[in-house]
Structure 1
Amino acid sequence: MGNILDIYTDFYGLTARPFAIAPDPALIYWSSAHKRAYSLLEYGIITRAPITLITGEVGSGKTVLIQHLLRSGAEDVTYGLVSNAQGGRDELLRWVLLALGQPAEAGDTYVDLYARFEEHLVAEYAAGRRVVLVFDEAQNLTVESLEEIRMFTNINTGTDELLQVVLVGLPELRERILKPGLRAIAQRVTAAFHIPPMDAATTAAYIAHRLACVGGKVPLFTPDAVAMIHDQARGVPRLTNQLCDFAMVYAFSKGSPEVDRVTVQQVLRDGVFFAGIEPAALSSEDETARVPVFRAGREA
C-alpha cells in the first residue's frame, strides 16, 4: 500500500499536500494583515530602523514571513537569523556570530566575541553591505539579552549605524518591551506590528488559496465545513492547516469528493485535532449540532 498522503493528493488531483504544517514561503497567503506586516519589515530595513518588532500568536505566520524576507533580501543587506537563542550575553554573542557565519570558539571570552562581531560589522560596511539580525522566538530572550541587543544597535561609524535588528515573537514580547524597565529598548523600536487572527472570510480565502497552489481546481471544502474550521482553529493559520489536513484524510478514507461539515466533526470527535477541543463535547447521535469551543477549561 502506498503512502496515504500521496494517495489522498492523487485522489483529489493535487500535486502536493496543501496544508502541510511546515512553513512554506511558496504557499504563503498574503492576507491584508500579512501584507502590512511584511511592508513594515521592508520599511524598517529600508529606513534603517534600529529595531523592528513583529508579534503574533503561535502559528500566525510570523516565521514564513521571515523566511520570505531572507529569500528576497537585497544585495546590499546581509541577514543573520537567530532562532530561539537562550542564555546570557556571552551565549547570545555566540548565537549571533554563528548566524553570521563567524567563528565562536568555546574558549573565547566575551571581549574576543564582541571584537570579532564589531570587526565583522565594519567589514560588511566597508563592502557596502548592511547587517540585519533577525531574532525569531524572541519572547524567550532574557532582559539581559534584550539590553545587549539594544547595545548592539549603538555600534556605528559616527554617521551610519552598522546593524539593524528584527525581533519576532509572541504577544508577550511586545508587552515586556513596553514595561518601564525596558523603556530604553522600546525607544529603539521604530516600527512594530501585531499579526491578528484571520477572520472568517480570510480563512475561506486562505483555504482556497492553499488548494489552488497545489492544483486544486474545484472547491473541496463546503462552506459549512470552512465555517466550522474557522471556529475551531480560531483564525490561526497553523491550526487551520492541521484541521484541514486531517479532514482531507478522513474525506479520502470515505471516498468523498469533498470535505463537508460532518467530516470535520468526525475529526474533532475522534480527538486527532489536538488544539484544546474536548471530544466529549461532540454528540455521536447528532453530528449536525454546533461544536462548542473550549478555552482555558471553560466553554466559549
Structure 2
Amino acid sequence: MSVEAERDKAMATRARENVFGGVDIDRMAERRDDRLWVEDTERSADARFLVLDEEGRAFVQAGIDRPCWMTPSMRAERFGDVPSTLLGLADGNAWFTLVLDEAHAEIYATLTHARRMSLREAGLLFDAFDAGLFAYAKGITHWQRQTRFCSLCGAPTLLVSSGHRAQCTNPHGPHLHFPRTDAAIIVIVEEGDACLLGRQRGWPKGRYSTLAGFIEPGESLEDAVRREVREESGVEVLHATYHSSQPWPLPASLMVGFTATAKTREIRLRDDELEDARWFTVDDIVRGMAEGTLGVPPPLSVSYRLIEHWLALRGVSLDELIAETAGRA
C-alpha cells in the first residue's frame, strides 16, 4: 500500500464516530417547557420509552441485543405514575426515558421477559443509535439523581423542563440547576517512533492504555493534557492536537481525545495512579499482542480509537491485530 493510501485509510479511521457519539436526534429544547405538548407527545403512537433501572441498566429484549422499548399503552396501563424525560425526536419517533424502582423493574421484566444490560456492555452490542440514546438517557438520569437537593441552600428540587432542569423549591430564593458534564482529557503521546502508554493497578494483566485525567478549574484542554501527562508519567508535552470526543456517562464525563508530542522519553512516575508507563513502538505493540503479553482497551472507548489511529498512520490495523490475536486463542 502506498504512503498516500495508508494516510487516507488512517484519516478514514479517525473520521469514524466514537461509540455513543454521532446520534442524530433533535433534542427539542425549545419545547421542553411546553407541558401540554410533551404530554400529548408521550401519549402518541410514535412515542418510545427507554427503560432504565435504579442502577442505570437498560432493559434488553430477550434473545437479541436491542432495547426493550416501552410502548405508550403499556406505560399508561402499568407505569403511568413514573415520570419520564424527553430525549428528543428522531426517525419519526419521540424518544423518552424513565427510571423504574426495583419493584416496578421486576414487574416490567416479568411482563416483557427482558434482561438488564449495563452501558459498557451495550456500547459493544447495540447499534450506534441505540447505544448513543442509552448513553444520553443514563447521563441525564444520573444528573437527576444527583440533584435532588439544591447545592446552594439544601432545599429539595423539582424536575422541570421535561427533566432537563432542577428547580429549587426554596420560596425565599429559588435557584435553577442545569445538567452538568465533567470534561476529561485522554491523550496518546508520541515521540519519534514510539507512543506512551500506561497501566493502572487492578487492570487485566498486560493491559496498557492512553493517559487521561479531569480538567481542573481555570485550565484549558491543552493545559490539562500537559499537566496530566506530567503528573502521571513525568513526561513533558510540547504540544497537543485535538482528535475527537466521546460522551462517557460513567457516570457523567465527556472524554476529549488528543494526540500529543513529547519533549523527551524520560519517564518519572510521580504518584500511585499508574503502576507502570512505557514507550511502545509499532513492533512492540504487534509483538506484544501476538504473544499475549500486551492488551489494549476495548473498542468501546476513545482510548482504543487513539491507539488505532496512531497505528493506522504507520500502516497497521488494530482491528486486524485484535482479530489475529483472537484467532490464535
| TM-score when normalising by structure 2 | 0.26
Greater helix content: 1
- Larger RCO, structures 1/2 (Cα 8 Å, 6+ apart): 1
Please report the TM-score for the alignment, with normalisation by the length of structure 1. 0.28
